[in-house]
A = this chain, B = another copy of it.
Amino acid sequence: MEDSVPRPHPSVTGAFGRWWEERRRAAPLTVTPVSFADLHQWHFAPEGGDLVHSTGGFFAVAGMRRFEADGTVLDQPVISQPEIGMLGILVKRLGGVPHALMQAKAEPGNVGSVQLSPTVQATRSNYTRVHRGHGTRHLEHFSGDPRGRVLVDSLQSEQGAWFWRKRNRNVLVETTAEVADHPDYHWVELDELRRLLRTDHLVNMDARSVLGTAPLFRPPPDSDDPFVRALARSYAEAPAGHDDEQEVRTWLNDAKSRCASHARLLPLSGIDGWTRTDGEIGDDDGTAFRIIAVRVTATGREVPGWSQPLLAPRSESVATFLVREIDGILHLLVQARAEPGLHDLLELAPTVHRHYPGEAPGPFDALSESQDPARVRYDARHSEEGGRFHRAITRHRVIDVGAEVPVDVPESYRWLTVRRLRTLARQGYYVNVEARSLLACLHSLW
């Protein structure tokens, strides 16, 4: 399995660039496909056939059955991981300037192996191990007493297409304490971190998710560009009528009440339309994804290697926000979108959000594919969580459609300001992971 390391990007320079190149060279993972029988400590449970770890921990690959409103029934494998993990970014002012302590973390499914990760990215199994004396590095800043100043702390869902009711805690803490140096960690100025979000496959999904809910330490500056001025107002100002919080809540509750689709777990051995071979479980249509097994060899790690299943999508996903100015304030066109594995049926999603080519078309697909440089404000490819997904790539786009899309939109869509969407995101279970990721990418647009 070749590892297609992306070329260093011109924006990755200076002290950060030197640390980053050194880390990329120091911590490679070799990822080799193996058969399920060759997985160490993983097996198909005798009853039900779920792919489980021998400790009962980590995660499991189970089955999910979706009942659509039109009577369609669709089965698929799903990653079941009931524990709440911790995604925490530590911030500290160095010379008065806010910096985030970012981690160079290798994951087997990442494009490029090493990506820029939160200070702490830990499952509950890691998290609770701390009480037995083998701590996750820097966890004390997020769970200690006293911990730093908590600026953001919310529970957030992750991919509702691939996870069964997964959620992680997204936390941003500001500290004034001494923090010990370690080669895997680097203090990145927040302004630099913003700019790094323009680079493909550099900032990992967990970091993007936290940054999407986090407060800005510095507001967008004055600009001659009307787009940037409208964006700055969208971060700052109370919105004008279109997106009162109670109205947004009511609109979303209307959508949840209308939603007639639902899903439930079922044993992996009971799913229809998927075929298991020695080395993969794939959909017979060949459009969705495969469950594969890999052996991972790490150099320079305490754990020399391990093996695990991964979910490997068959194609690239797309997440696009159409945006436009309304009354001088940039608005994002959000969608109330049902996903079978979400915690509560549906969440706010990007205007266009597609995992597989075969999915039902939406009203804004054509506009989202614009190649007009005057409209395409953001266009980059990022990886989804490399500890669970293999080369899961989402193309992130922000397209300025101006008045071509009217203020009145179909009932599943709504124009919201950045400020409103970020406020809802901080409440948890409102904004899906693809939309949070795009919210983080917006930070890079000035």
Contact = CB atoms under 8 A, between A and B. Distances in A.
Interface of A: 82, 84, 86, 124, 127, 143, 150-151, 153-155, 167, 169, 246-247, 249-250, 253-254, 256-257, 262, 264-265, 343-344, 427, 429
27 contacts: A84-B253, A84-B256, A84-B257, A86-B257, A124-B257, A127-B257, A143-B254, A143-B257, A150-B246, A150-B247, A150-B250, A151-B246, A153-B246, A153-B249, A153-B250, A153-B253, A154-B249, A155-B253, A155-B256, A155-B344, A167-B344, A169-B253, A169-B257, A264-B265, A343-B344, A427-B427, A429-B429
A246 B171 CA distance: 11
A82 B264 CA distance: 11
Contacts of A143: 254, 257
Name which of A247, A250, A256 has the most chain B CB atoms within 10 A of its CB: A250
Name which of A82, A84, A143, A167 has the most chain B CB atoms within 10 A of its CB: A84
Given A82-B262, A124-B257, A264-B265, 14 more contacts: A84-B253, A84-B256, A84-B257, A127-B257, A143-B254, A150-B250, A151-B246, A154-B249, A154-B253, A155-B344, A167-B344, A169-B257, A427-B427, A429-B429
A339 B40 CA distance: 36
A392 to B, nearest CB: 26
A62 to B, nearest CB: 11
Name which of A124, A249, A429 has the most chain B CB atoms within 10 A of its CB: A249
A60 to B, nearest CB: 12
A80 to B, nearest CB: 10
A443 B251 CA distance: 29
A432 to B, nearest CB: 16
Contacts of A153: 246, 249-250, 253
Contacts of A246: 150-151, 153
Contacts of A124: 257
A127 B127 CA distance: 44
Contacts of A344: 155, 167, 343
A429 B256 CA distance: 15
A242 to B, nearest CB: 16
A16 to B, nearest CB: 30
A427 B429 CA distance: 11
Contacts of A343: 343-344
Contacts of A253: 84, 153-155, 169
A417 B167 CA distance: 29
Nearest to A165: B344
A169 B262 CA distance: 17
Nearest to A258: B128
Nearest to A247: B150
A67 to B, nearest CB: 10
Contacts of A429: 429
A143 B250 CA distance: 10
Top 4 nearest A-B pairs (CB, nearest first) are A153-B250, A84-B257, A150-B250, A153-B249
